[in-house]
Amino acid sequence: MRGKGSRGAAKAARRRDGAREGALDERRLVRISKYLAKHLRHQPEQIGIELDERGWVGVDRLLAAAAAHGFPISRAELEQVVAGNDKRRYAIEDGRIRASQGHSVEVDLDLPVAEPPALLYHGTVAGNLAAIRAEGLRPMNRHHVHLSPDPETATRVGARRGKPVVLAVDAGAMRAAGHEFRLSANGVWLADGVPPSFIRFPG
């Protein structure tokens, strides 16, 4: 008969194994999310898929293409990535999937013009401030400038590139001046650009 010490060690080992499996699962889902971002936003042609004018592609077509190019994804994994992503980067509808925003390939998400709050926010890093002061916020290789609804979200966005700097954007004043805003399915505000005069810089 095994003693209490042996049973305790076995339980601890199972907990460690479960934690490792959970970590592996999470890393797998992150890899899938990055794979989707690459091919649903930027390089669909690399795996032989074609997005329609609104950015959609059939789920079955995507899964077959991923498997054919050495990155098989199960339907359950895909649905878990879409449903579990706190930023709602992807949407599934009528057997199709698309990225909610952030495309560099030519698509029209068909988002209506929306009335923004008085202030929106943009997360960046100090190294970009000189260019932003001179030129404002530009889409660069994307279709739109991405703006966050609150400073906390903007801080997380900026932190992807280094020590974050959060800029406030006078969205209400921009709208009054005739600039248009659109709101993506995952809560990101989109604008064609933000002139420097509408940006509040820190300091």
One domain for residues 66 and 149: no
**How do residues 97-113 score in pLDDT, each as one tens digit?**
999 888 888 888 888 99
- Given this model, what pLDDT does residue 110 score? 82
**How do residues 7-25 score in pLDDT, each as one tens digit?**
666 555 555 545 455 554 8
One domain for residues 85 and 11: yes
Q: Is residue 168 part of a domain?
A: yes
Q: What CA–CA distance (Å, rounded) separates 111 from 114?
A: 9
One domain for residues 44 and 127: no
Q: What is the CATH number of the domain that holds 168?
A: 3.20.170.30
Cβ neighbours of residue 28 closer than 8 Å, sequence gap 6 or more? 77
The parent domain of residue 44 ranges over: 4-99
Name the 3-class secondary structure at 36: helix
Q: Is residue 196 part of a domain?
A: yes
Residues with pLDDT less than 50, the chain: 1, 17, 19, 24
One domain for residues 168 and 89: no
One domain for residues 128 and 51: no
One domain for residues 93 and 32: yes
- Given this model, what pLDDT does residue 60 score? 97
Number of domains in the chain: 2
Instruction: Provide the residue type at 94 as one letter.
Output: D
Instruction: Provide the residue type at 74 as one letter.
Output: S
Beta-sheet strand order (sheet of 164-170): 119-125, 164-170, 199-200
- Given this model, what pLDDT does residue 45 score? 96
- Given this model, what pLDDT does residue 15 score? 59
One domain for residues 85 and 137: no
